[in-house]
Each structure stands twice: as structure tokens, then as C-alpha cells.
Chain A
């Protein structure tokens, strides 16, 4: 089966990305060079394509209990709890949770959740919406200011700390905005309808020009995510 394409693929291609296959996804790996990309993100803001991440929703009046049973999370489940390696749980509503998994792991997580749902008193619905969303990654000290140009939320760290997930209007579209720092750099994931992905990417690229927004590939992004000293 041919590799899956993200909605941002045409933009990445135009920006001269070298692509690689990651968990069945055709994904931008490097643009100008890993070091340049890392430094640009550390200085201003880097823009990446994180669409290959798995995305699930679970609906149930007992959603929290089902999630707890399937994915035992440290102490506080709910918004922003990290489970194991890279799976994160966010409460969007009392009866609706959003789960982000590393690329390719959505199926396994869905199975766990569905099993837990089937065992619960109230019926639960787990849906894999991976294909329905574009996921844009912003990393860098200017990412908060950039977002304040396209969204009315308060992105100050005190008001929107790491791990926060909020759904709001971004550039006149509905998006799920998650504060997900990369190492010690502030970072965000912007998750919205796949069909709007390219539009949002373009708007963000324009809005970020004043901070020297730079596209960053998978390799640079991985480095930034791991590097606690990157700031």
C-alpha cells in the first residue's frame, strides 16, 4: 500500500522538503538542514507537519472512567495527561475525550479503549479520526505571539500552560490547540479539519513571517522534542 499523504504535503513539497516514510506516512524529513532548522526554531518559531500522529475520540457519559481503565494515567487524568510513550489524553468535554498517539499506534490504543468501553456500564464510542485532521506543530519562543495573531485565546504560559488543550476559533476555523512544549521551548499542536489544513498552514506561515518562521522537518522536530536544553 502506498504511503499516506498529509494535507500539508503540497506545501512541504513546495518548500523543498526531502520526504521519508514514517509509519506508513510520507512525511517531510528535512528542509534546509537539521541544524539550521533547529536554530531557527530556537530563535523564532518553527513550523512542522505532525499529521501522522494517531488521533482518537471517545464519547461516553463515563468517558473518564473508560479512559482510566484502558490507559491508566498518572494521578490526574483529564487534560494533558501523558500515558506511556507519547500517548496523551485530553478532556474536551465531560463526555468527550481526545487521545493523541504516536504515529501508527492509534489502532492498538483504539482496541484497548473499545474493550474497556464494552466492559463499562454505559456504552462508549471510540472513533479513529486520524485521517480527518491536519496537525500543525509550532515550536519556538515566538509561537505564543504568533498564535495571538490568529486566535483570540490568551496564550500566556500562566493562562495556557503546557498540556492545556482548548478548542477555539483560529483564523475563522475551529481548531483544537494543545500546548505541547518541545524540550524547554514553548510549542503547540494545532489540530483541525484536514480539508482546512493547507489554509491554516498558509495563514500561520504568513503571520509568522515577522519572527522568521521556518519550516522544520521530522528530524529537527525530534531533536527539539528530546532536547531539554534547547532553549
Chain B
């Protein structure tokens, strides 16, 4: 091994002095090697290695620096829970090195180090730690206020973990929905057993496990006997799907789960749920308990059995249960010298396989010694309740301190689902109760530690879950009772001790560097409930989200306050149970876009596209004012396929139209078109458009583009909630493309493409006719939003482009130009036609909006009638009116306020501008605005518009600005 290291050193990468011979359950492919770099240095790994295992194999012990004090930190839990191994991989910060498999060429950097992991200058912070007590930034950086920008810059540099690279390319994140009768969370023995039993009763089962393979603690237990058989059964069962590397991070109502695997978020709908998430091993509090070389027992077992790594040369094992003894045995088998096993409990005799090991019963660990890494362990006898001072302390030189002193149920999902925790004083563990329906527990999460019992509990929970969704029958009460008895007989596994009687820092929270002293201070300052303590000290708010610290914090708080753990309570759990990348939450980009059949044509002609609802529409093709002139003088064509189109059929349609529109419909003959306004019962304008009576018992309604889906829903509601007798509605918005051919030359142009007689007498204003245009059966509506002779051509969408191109071609001799939304806005403004939603808002009634001519208050009940009658009687306070600017070229922006000087000379807001443009036709700035009714009443009344400190003068204008008599429409 020595020579190998030398060679590796020369060639610039390290082969791993700590690698053991192949282990039975290891996940490595030793036949080949891959290379990666850590802080610029090249290391070798085997496929299957995680970043942390490969580095540990190579003898690297320090993986990161802590958040506040920049203390060196090494591998602690090796299970993806603690913050100690967070690294930056390429442009991705906060990757857990113990979970992330090594990939060829991966570039790994330590985080929170400056300038380097080995020599971090920020670690001087700990020398000043007495000046940086808990809550120090709330207290310190307040005064003087003027220095805040400086503090802020400093804190921003010091805070945060990892670096976000704004140049990072878009990742490919996505989501997937999964469905199952029974979802099992956790693939340990209990989870596997639950999955098998639920599936054997016929249920469709999904097993999610956050590790790279199912098996849970059996994968790294020395006695892995039943695992192979279980895995075989699991794999062969057709009713079970296994998702590895998949962490279930949230529980929501109706057993709806969120789970994450790498870049994918799963949304899982489960009928029933078995939570077999196991337990987190709990760290112990003692002096310098964060030194690299202090590890949890299960971490050591993972390193040995999964990755074939010798975790140290000489170890001290500190324990309070039999699990620690198993770890000691594993260490010895891996060739680690066990200097001592320190057990809080009395120890009688020497355990098998522990011959020659110093065994100290009724002792506990007081301190880790060393600078930068463990050099020795200081242990002392437990006396009088386990809080003795360091009398009789002994020091054991070692490079590894293994802690195995208890388990905290991994109950995040249980708590978010509303489950309660009850502290079992006897066992010093949390018990869970009050689970929601269809929610079952199995294994360590429910305090079951023996493998046999875990398998049995899994079997019962899986059976119950399957039965819950109708598969097979639930287990007998006697079976459950028998298991409970076996569980009760299990030995206590948790240390009684809260902390050591030490003199130095004992880290409670590794994420935010909170010590026992900090917590004590916070309680003394009055933050004595767990929720307050959490927010003030930030304990459990770091990347581990309390997995390492919450139970120790709870015990410590209870001790300091002299109350029970149950009384102290715990903090509320909220999803996600594990950190989730924002990319996974965002998923695949899904922003629906609606395109008309002419979309590509518009783009090819250089149209500037704009977003209108979900639609993309041409705003203009370069020069909107030229487009306006073309329509006024010749002919233009606009794509209005986005208009809402609803076909109404049936004998009940006239009644419905009378009710949803404010104007009259009953007498509208076949072939006629009418403009209509819709209100709600508040009398507020919802939408406008034309409706054509196309056939006997058939009407064709158009809505505004933006109102299309809303109006269809609105109509559906009235139809389905009582007004639907004899009415069928069909949304034809996408069935028909629509183009408005507009301008004095439109008739001549269109006549070239159709045999239908277009003469004014044959197809007058506000009429509808069927006609073939360019061979395609179309509907022609003669209407006039632009104020020019216009034909709205509705044609089947798949032939839309053909008709459009035929029009463009035939229009050559008329200098036909396509025009966009902007030109249309100008054209309609010149006619003082309103746009619902722009010139009206959620308080505008049609009487005030200058559409009194459309409101028929004498007809029978319609939506808005009662309120409109009231408005008609009382009069509107505000009126919509046209205006012309005195400065002909001054266009006030839409939304500007109209002001007046009050008696005191102060400017008072009396109205606002809703539409304004420079009219190329009139060479004059014009607009629409809301004014007090007395100002609006008289054409020519002057008022002022406030614009960036200046007052602009405008005059009220009544009616259309252009062609007020509408002669051009009736040509």
C-alpha cells in the first residue's frame, strides 16, 4: 500500500490508502477506475463510489468548512442528512458528497472556504466567537444605520453556501406523475416487507427509496442474511415498482406525495401509504464534537460495507446501546484497532469478539482532542445522573471517534401529515400517533429496531394498507398485539445524557454552528419555546433541517428549562423534508402558446409579435401608421383568428341572448348581425362583440380575443345552471380562422375571389352570408370596427393560410397591406370604439361607458338590468369620453391622470386616460378618458392631464373622431 501511494503521488492522483479488500455487500466496480478532482487535485475512484467515499479512501478527512466559524468538518453521517460534506460540483452548489456518485472528470470544490480548505482565514471567526453569540447579527449590525450598506456587503460575502453561476445553462428538469394503490416510503427491511405483503394481496405498489439500492440498514449490517432473498422477491414481484435514489420530500392532502430523483420531481398519488423511513442516528454533545474523525456508527458501517473503506486506524467507540458494539465488531473486522468501547450502561464481561479491547462501562465521552482532526478521546465515568465533571477522566489516543447513542425517527412525513409525537420517557424516543387515514408506519420510524420485528411490522402495515384500498383483508388484531409485545420487550437504545460537562464548544447544530452555550443563552434571553428558539438561534433551519440537531436541542431546552421533553414540544414540520433544487420544482417549461394558422406567414414578413392572452399576434409589420393610412385609403388585412367564436343552437337561443346581452335579439332576422354588450348583474361590462343569426335556430357569436375562454365559461354556467333549456353551445374559436379585410377597396378585392355578389344591396352593412372565397366555404360578416368598409372572413382553419395567401395575392393590384394590432387600435380609436378591459374596468357600466344606445332597459330580465336601471335613475358620476389634445402632437400615455385645482390650489385627480394615440388620419393626438359627468357633458370642455410635472390641455370630443356619420361603412 505504501508503494502504491508513492506511485499515486507521483502520477498526481491518489489511489486510496484506506481501501479495504473487496467487501461482501459493496457497491463498487473494482475492475475499473475513474478520475475526478477535488479542489484542483486529481483523485481516483471506482464506479459506485460517492465523492465522499472516494475522498475518504484517498485519506482526505476535511471536506468543508463550517458556516459561521469556518471550522474544518469531515464526514459525519454518510447518509445524506448532515451538512458536513456539502460541496460544489461544477456549477452546482450544495451537493452532498456522501450521496453523489463520482463521474468521470467531475470537478469538485469545497464550499465556504477562503482562500482554501486547508488554510481558511475566516476561521479566525472562532477566536472572536464570544463576540458572536447567538443572534449576533440581529444585535450587532443595526448601529449605526448609515453603515448598513457596508455590513450588508460584508455579510453577503460571508453568508450563503456555494456559488451560483448566473451563466449556468438551462438544465433539463422535468416532472412525472405516478399512481399506486400503496406507496411504501423507505426500502429497508420493513419497507420491503410492506411492499411484498401489500402486493401479495393484489395491490399495485410503488416503493421509493432514497438510497441507490433498496435494503436499508441490511445493506451495511454485518449479518445481511435475509437481504438477498428479500431483494430477489422484490424484483420478481410484478405488482411492485421500485424507485431508487428517490427521496419523498413532501406529504400533502389525500396522500399525495412529492418525491425527487435527481432532476425529476415525481407527483405521486397514493391510495394508502406505508412510511418506513427508518431513523436518523443521533450525534452526541461533547467538547469539539465536530472535529473531523468524529463519525456516527452507521456512517462507519456504510464506509466499511458499501465502499470497502477503513474509516480510521485507531478508534474509540462511544455508545449507549448494542448497536455500538456491533460497530466495534465491524471496525475490528475491518482491521481498525479499537482503543476502547465506552458504554454509558454497566457492562458485564467481555463481549464475543471484543477480546483485548478496553471496555469502559458506565463511562461516556467528554471531549474530542485534536487540531483539525481527532487525535484523542477523553472519556470519564458516568456519575450521579450522568453529568459528572471530568473527575477520573482518561485520554485515549485515536484518529476516529465513533458515536452510536440513539435514534430519532425519520418522521418528517408523519409530522407534515398531522401525526403527533409522544415522548416515551422509558425508551427516551419519540412515539408517533394520530396518523391520517390510509397512513401506516413500519420499522425504525415506529421505534422497531430488531430486524425480525421490522419485517413483521412491514408485513402487517403493508397488509393493512392494501386492505385500506380494497385489496385483501387487514391483519388480525392479535397479530398486531403480538408484535407490540415484542417491541415493548426491546432494549432501550438511546443515551440518557444530554451533553458532556465540557469546557469547549459542543456543537448542537452543524449547519449553523449553534453550540449548547448558544442555546442556553437564547433560552436565558427568553426564547424558551421551541418555535422561538428555532427562529432566534436558526437551529434546525440549515441544510439538515433538524435531522441532526432537533432531538438534542429539544432535550437541552427541556433540561435548561427544567421541564419534560413532551412539555417542551417540537417545532412544526413542513415540506420539503430534504432540500430540493428549484429546477426540480419548476420542471419542464410549460407555458402554453396559441398560434393562428397564419403565424409563420406573419413571422416571415417580419411582424413584431406580441403576446395577447396565450396568443401570439402581429403587433405591426414595421410601420403601424403606414398600415393605418393603407386601410383608410386602400385596403388592409388583419388576422383576427384569435376572436372568440361560439355557435349557439336551439329554440332557446333568443331567450338566452336576451338574458346575457343588454340589447335586443329576439327580432334579429336570419342573415343579420348585431353588436352586443354583455354585463354581469353588477351592471359591469364584461365583453362585447357581434353576434350573427346564421340559420334557423343557429347563431354565431364572437367575443373579444381576451374574453374568449372566459365568456364561454360564463355562458356555460348560465346554460348549465338554469338558462339552458333548448340551447347548445359549441366553442368554434379554433375551428374558424378569421381575417378582417378593411378599406374602401375591400369589396373590389374580395369580389375577385368569390362569386357571391358583394354589392351593398346584396350584402349590406351588419349582414352575414355564406360564400366561397378562393374555393373555400367561408362566412362573410360585414362589420366595421375600423370604420371602413370591411368584410370579416371566417374560414375553416386548415384552409386559413390558403385563403389568406389568396387574398394577399389578389390584393397586389390594390396595394393590399397586412396590418397588425397596433394599427387596428389606432383605427378603432379614430372611430371612438372602446376596447373592453382597456377603456372599461371592473366598475364600468355601459351607460357611463358611452354605450347607452345599446342598453334596452325596457326589455325583460337580463344580466345587469336592475343595476343599470338604478344607474339610469341616479346618473353616472364618471363618463367615458373622447378627447383631442390642444398640442396636436402631444400624446399622453395611457393611464395618466386628469387633474383639477381644488379650492386650496392643490391638484385633485378627477379622471384618467384609457386610450391615446396620434391619429395619422387626422394628424392629431386623440384619446378616450374617464371624466366627471359634468366635464364630459359638453363637447369642447377643456381639462388638464398631468404628465411628469407638466399639465397638458385637452378638450372633450363627442362621437367618432373620423367619419362621425359612418358614411364610409355604408358604401
Bound CA span A145–B266, Å: 12
Residues facing A in B774-822 (CB within 8 A) are 774-776, 796-799, 801-802
Cα A122 to Cα B590 with chains together (Å): 42
Known: A125-B728, A132-B735, A195-B594. A149 touches B798 (CB 8 A): no
Give Cα A159–Cα B181 distance, bound, in whole angstroms: 12
Tally of chain B residues near chain A (CB < 8 A): 45
Contacts of B597 in A (CB 8 A): 5, 7, 194
CA distance A151 to B798 in the complex (A): 27
Contact for A203 among B588, B731, B799, CB less than 8 A: B588
Q: Is A42 an interface residue (CB 8 A)?
A: no
**Mask: chain A, 93-133; 1 = CB below 8 Å from B; 0 = not:** 00000000000000000000000000000010101111111
Instruction: Write out the residue numbers on chain B whose beta carbons fall within 8 Å of the beta carbon of A59.
Output: 649, 728, 730
Q: Decide yes or no: A156 and B595 within 8 Å by CB, A149-B175, A151-B177 being known contacts.
A: no
- In the complex, whether B179 has a CB less than 8 A from a CB of chain A is yes
Q: Interface centre among B269, B647, B799, by most A CB within 10 Å?
A: B799
A43, CB-defined interface residue at 8 Å: no
Chain B positions within 8 Å of A129 at CB level: 730, 732, 735
Complex formed: what's the CA distance from A129 to B269 in Å? 34
Q: Is B888 an interface residue (CB 8 A)?
A: no
Known A-B contacts A5-B798, A6-B798, A207-B174; the reply to A173 vs B592 at CB < 8 A is yes
Residues of B within 8 A of A156 (CB): 179, 204
Q: Which residue of B lies closest to A202 (CB)?
A: B593
> What is the CB-to-nearest-CB distance from B206 to chain A, in angstroms, rounded to a whole number?
11
Assembled-state Cα–Cα distance A199/B596 (Å)? 12
Q: Which of A5, A148, A159 contacts B801 (CB 8 A)?
A: A5
Any A CB within 8 A of the CB of B313? no
CB contacts (< 8 Å) of A133 on chain B: these are 734
Q: Cβ of A171 and Cβ of B592 under 8 Å apart?
A: yes
Encode B174-187 as 1/0 by CB contact (under 8 A) with A: 11111100000000
Indicate whether A1 reaches chain B with its CB closer than 8 angstroms.
yes
Known: A132-B732, A148-B178, A203-B590. A25 touches B798 (CB 8 A): yes
Say whether, besides A149-B175, A151-B177, A127 and B647 are in contact (CB < 8 Å). Answer: yes
Report B-chain residues with C-beta under 8 Å of the C-beta of A4: 796, 798-799, 802
A51 surroundings in chain B (CB, below 8 A): 798
Contact of A195 among B269, B596, B796 (CB under 8 A): B596
B735 and A1: CB pair below 8 A? Answer: no
Q: Which residues of B contact A154 (CB under 8 A)?
A: 177, 179, 269
Do B590 and A193 touch (CB < 8 A)? no
Interchain CB contact (< 8 A) of A199 among B178, B593, B734, B735: B593
Residues of B within 8 A of A199 (CB): 592-595
Residues of A near B734 (CB, < 8 A) are 131-133, 193-195
Q: Is the CB of A172 within 8 A of B590?
A: yes
Q: Is the CB of B776 within 8 A of A1?
A: yes
Cβ-closest chain B residue relative to A2: B802
Contact B798 A131 (CB under 8 A): yes
- Please judge, given known A-B contacts A193-B594, A195-B734, whether A152 and B797 are in contact too, CB under 8 Å: no
Distance, CA A129 to CA B796, complexed state (A)? 9
Q: Which residue of A lies closest to B594 (CB)?
A: A195
Q: Tell me, in angstroms, the Cα distance from A127 to B734 when the chains sit together.
A: 13
Asked if B726 CB lies within 8 Å of chain A CBs, one says: yes
A1 in contact with B588 given A125-B728, A129-B735, A195-B595 (CB within 8 Å): no
Within 8 A of A (CB), among B691-737: 697, 726, 728, 730-736
A16: chain B residues within 8 A (beta carbon): none
**Contact B615 A195, beta carbon cutoff 8 Å:** yes
Nearest CB in chain A to that of B803: its residue: A2
Question: CB distance A127 to B730 under 8 Å?
Answer: yes
**Within 8 Å CB of B596, what residues of A?**
195
Interface flags for A3-37 (1: CB within 8 Å of B; 0: not) read 01111001000000000000001000000000000
Q: Which residues of A contact B776 (CB under 8 A)?
A: 1
Given contacts A59-B730, A125-B650, A132-B797, contact A152 B267 (CB under 8 A): yes
Interfacial chain B residues near A158, Cβ < 8 Å: 204
Choose among A125, A153, A195, A206 the residue that contacts B588 (Cβ–Cβ < 8 A): A206
Instruction: Give per-residue flags for A192-213: 1 if the beta carbon is below 8 A from chain B beta carbons, else 0.
Output: 0111101100010011000000
B600 on the A face (CB < 8 A): yes
How far, in whole Å, are A51 and B798 apart by their CA atoms in the complex? 10
Using Cβ atoms and an 8 Å threshold, which residues of chain B touch A214? none
Interface contact A2-B799, CB-CB below 8 Å: yes
Question: A-facing mask of B360-377, CB < 8 A → 1, else 0?
Answer: 000000000000000000
Residue of B nearest to A51 (CB): B798
- Asked if residues A123 and B730 are in contact (CB atoms below 8 Å), the reply is no
Chain B residues within an 8 Å CB radius of A2: 775, 799, 802
The verdict on A87 contacting chain B, using a C-beta distance below 8 Å, is no
B730 to A10, Cβ gap below 8 A? no
A143 close to chain B: CB less than 8 A: no
Q: How far is the CB of A158 from chain B (nearest CB, A)?
A: 8
A57 is an interface residue with CB less than 8 A from chain B: yes
CB distance from A132 to the nearest CB of B (A): 3
Query: Which residues of B sit under 8 angstroms from A207, Cβ to Cβ?
Result: 174, 588
Task: Kindly provide the distance from the CB of A140 to the nearest chain B CB, expressed in whole angstroms.
Answer: 17
- Contacts of A152 on B, CB cut-off 8 Å? 177, 267, 269
Q: How many Å lie between the Cα of A30 and that of B802 in the bound state?
A: 24
Please indicate the chain A residues that have their CB under 8 angstroms from the CB of B774 in the complex.
Answer: 1
Nearest CB on A from B82, distance (A)? 33
Q: Which of B269, B588, B597, B798 has the most CB of A within 10 A?
A: B798
Q: How far is the CA of A198 from the CA of B733 in the complex (A)?
A: 17
* Mask of A80-102 contacts with B, CB within 8 angstroms, 1/0: 00000000000000000000000
Contact status A131-B735, CB under 8 Å: yes
Q: Which residues of A contact B728 (CB under 8 A)?
A: 59-60, 123, 125
Contacts A123-B650, A195-B596 given; 10 further ones with Cβ under 8 A?
A: A1-B774, A1-B802, A125-B649, A132-B733, A145-B176, A151-B177, A152-B267, A172-B591, A193-B733, A203-B588
**CB within 8 Å of A: which residues of B?**
174-179, 204, 267, 269, 588, 590-597, 600, 614-615, 641, 647, 649-651, 697, 726, 728, 730-736, 774-776, 796-799, 801-802
Give 18 A-B contacts (CB < 8 Å), ordered by A residue. A1-B799, A5-B597, A7-B597, A59-B730, A127-B649, A128-B735, A130-B796, A132-B734, A132-B797, A133-B734, A149-B175, A171-B592, A172-B592, A195-B594, A196-B614, A199-B592, A207-B174, A207-B588
Q: Nearest 4 pairs between A and B by C-beta? A: A132-B735, A4-B798, A195-B594, A132-B734
